[in-house]
Structure 1
Amino acid sequence: MTDNVSLISGVALRYASALIDLAEEQGVIAEVEAGLYKFEALMNECEDLDRLIKSPAFTAEVQLKALTAVLEKAGITGLTANFVKLVAENQRLFALRSMINGFRVQLAERRGEVTAHVTTAQELSDEHIATLREAINASEGKNVNIAAKVDPSIIGGLIVKIGSRMVDASLRTKLNSLKFAMKEVG
């Protein structure tokens, strides 16, 4: 298993594994994947939903009722909706984000994919992402998903993280190295 899996709790991994197995058995992997990512986006956008999921102050019944309404309004149905409801019923909503992450990691592993977390000073064009993907594909020998992030503080260049490995070719790091070298000389 990849390094990312060790960051995910055992409970979350068991739920994620069971969901993947069930989705594969029913032939609905793409639908479940889309539904989970849509729900994750809702959690990221809506503070009230995030609070509902994280807070132990709400009973399982209240959480289930609210989540049922949210899922229905968002158009998330089938196995994905049933999974989220089951997690609520079992009072495991606190681990839902980890379950979604575990699903993502295990699904990528089953597909033979790795995720490269790329940080740049400016947003990358589609052409640059494609070129970067090809270069990383060649070095990794696997299909690579690019998770791009913009951080203007790196000034230029890029930082690439794949699992526990990192290549820092940022201008900020090069300038800091030069600054350190100049202090030793002077």
Structure 2
Amino acid sequence: MIEPTTLARPYARAAFEHARAAGDLAAWQAALSELAAITAEPKVAAAMRDPNQTAAQRAATLSGLAGDAVPSAVANLLAIMADNGRLSLLPEVAMLFDQLKQAVESTVAVHVTSAYPLSDAETQQLAETMQEKLARSITLTSETDPSLLGGALIRADDLVIDGSVRGRLNKLAGTLTQ
């Protein structure tokens, strides 16, 4: 079976090239992110699989749910994806579009999961350190997960830095069981 990312890649690339030519990358990124979030909802996902709806109705439903967030060119992409039975790939298309946009802008998304909320100073210091380490501009997002016990887990592209207490305990447990 073909991976969803592989199926989504041509749609993402075509959308990206069109958006870049039109100078509208930000609007496309916002629209695709909104549509990906909408299709992630279980009720919407079920409606998109309803055999009683035509492809045009599915695309129109998604456009309607997103409201003003969907420019006409994005609505055209939805219609094409609906005709090909690929609306379920919208989260992958949005992710790949973001990656293409970041590559062109020489930015990288850094996601930090910490055991406690980071202060503004900690966030700023972490952003500066990661920008130096990656030698690229970054966009930093963060979330809190108390199950980490302490420390943080940092993800940027393929790089994962696990400085969490939970990660250290898991590593220690693995060493002890060998």
TM-score by length of 2: 0.82
Unaligned segments of structure 1, at least 5 residues:
1-6
Whether the aligned pair in 1 keeps the contact of 2:30 and 2:69 (CA below 8 Å) is no
Tell me the CA shift for residue 176 of structure 1: 4.9
**Correspondence 1:15-94 to 2 at 5 A:** 15-44=11-40, 46-53=41-48, 55=49, 57=51, 58-71=53-66, 73-94=67-88
* Superposition CA RMSD, Å: 2.6
Tell me the CA shift for residue 74 of structure 1: 4.7
d(CA) in 1 for partners of 2:29, 2:80: 17
d(CA) in 1 for partners of 2:162, 2:71: 42
Name the amino acid aligned to 1:145: T
Whether the aligned pair in 2 keeps the contact of 1:137 and 1:144 (CA below 8 Å) is yes
Q: Which residue of 1 aligns with 2:107?
A: 113
Matched, 1:129 2:120: no
Change (3 A) 1:177 1:96: closer
Change (3 A) 1:102 1:177: closer
Q: Deviations over 1:105-141 (max 9, x none)?
A: 1111111112223211123334322221110001110
Tell me the CA shift for residue 149 of structure 1: 2.8
Matched positions, count = 174
- What secondary structure, in the 3-state scheme, does the structure 2 residue paired with 1:9 have? helix
Whether the aligned pair in 2 keeps the contact of 1:68 and 1:85 (CA below 8 Å) is no
Whether the aligned pair in 1 keeps the contact of 2:153 and 2:160 (CA below 8 Å) is yes
Q: Which residue of 2 aligns with 1:174?
A: 168
Q: Which residue of 2 aligns with 1:4?
A: none
After the TM superposition, which parts of structure 1 deviate over 4 Å for at least 4 consecutive aligned residues? 175-181
The answer to which of 57-66 and 104-113 deviates more is: 57-66
Q: Which residue of 1 aligns with 2:6?
A: 10
d(CA) in 2 for partners of 1:23, 1:139: 30
TM-score by length of 1: 0.78
Unaligned segments of structure 2, at least 5 residues:
none
Aligned partner of 2:132 among 135, 138, 141: 138
- What secondary structure, in the 3-state scheme, does the structure 2 residue paired with 1:96 have? helix
Identity within the alignment, %: 24
Name the amino acid aligned to 1:18: A
